[in-house]
Amino acid sequence: MKKSLKTCNATYWLPIFLIGLVMSLASCGLLQDLFSGADAPAPQQAIAMIGPTSGSSVTGTATFTQSGDQIALLVEIKGASPGLHAVHIHQYGDCSSPDGKSAGGHWNPTGVAHGKWGEGEFHLGDIGNISVGEDGIGSISLKTDLWEIGTGSDVDIVGRGIIVHAGADDFASQPSGAAGARIGCGAIVLAAQP
């Protein structure tokens, strides 16, 4: 008698539990997401369109893409002279002056010395050197969890500027690596979400 009573109780309560679970999921909108094949949100992205300054012909893009706590940066330029060209994030996303100086100095929210990315002290804007080939094209990439996109915090890259310099960064001279004139500038803005 006891065995059949347990079977009866389980048979009675299980459908009620499942109906309650389905109704709870539906009221939260989770059931629709589950069956609609809803994708994860698109990654946060920022972009800078690099234009020429100081009479140069440099153009390009800097694309920042966030995945989890990592931000991947890809800078691609063309129209530059062959050799090494420093690339930095500068304080302001203002490319209005012909020499690019309206972008201010290096972006340095942590207040440390200029240096080489990932080695000792370095500005959060110390990206490095792009190697440009005979065709005038070059690129550089890195990944970091030191930046943010669109948060408004001190380490948010949106509203800053990307600067391409005429020469290489020596990673030692203060405050900016003796990289020479600013030959390309782009304002970093949030990319439109699909």
Provide the annotated active-site residues.
88, 90, 106, 114, 123, 126, 165, 182
How many angstroms separate the CA atoms of 40 and 32, rounded?
A: 14
Rounded to the nearest angstrom, the gap between the alpha carbon of residue 89 and the centroid of all alpha carbons in its chain is: 12
Cis amide linkage into residue 43, ω under 30° from 0: no
Find the Cα–Cα–Cα–Cα dihedral 78, 119, 157, 92, rounded to 10°: -70
Strand order of the β-sheet with 138-144 is: 126-132, 83-90, 161-165, 182-190, 45-52, 59-67, 70-78, 138-144
Query: 107, 155 in Cβ contact below 8 A?
Result: no
Tokens, residue 162:
């990307």
How many angstroms separate the CA atoms of 185 and 162, rounded?
A: 6
How many angstroms separate the CA atoms of 130 and 78, rounded?
A: 11
- The closest alpha carbon to 157, from 107, 110, 192, 122, belongs to 107
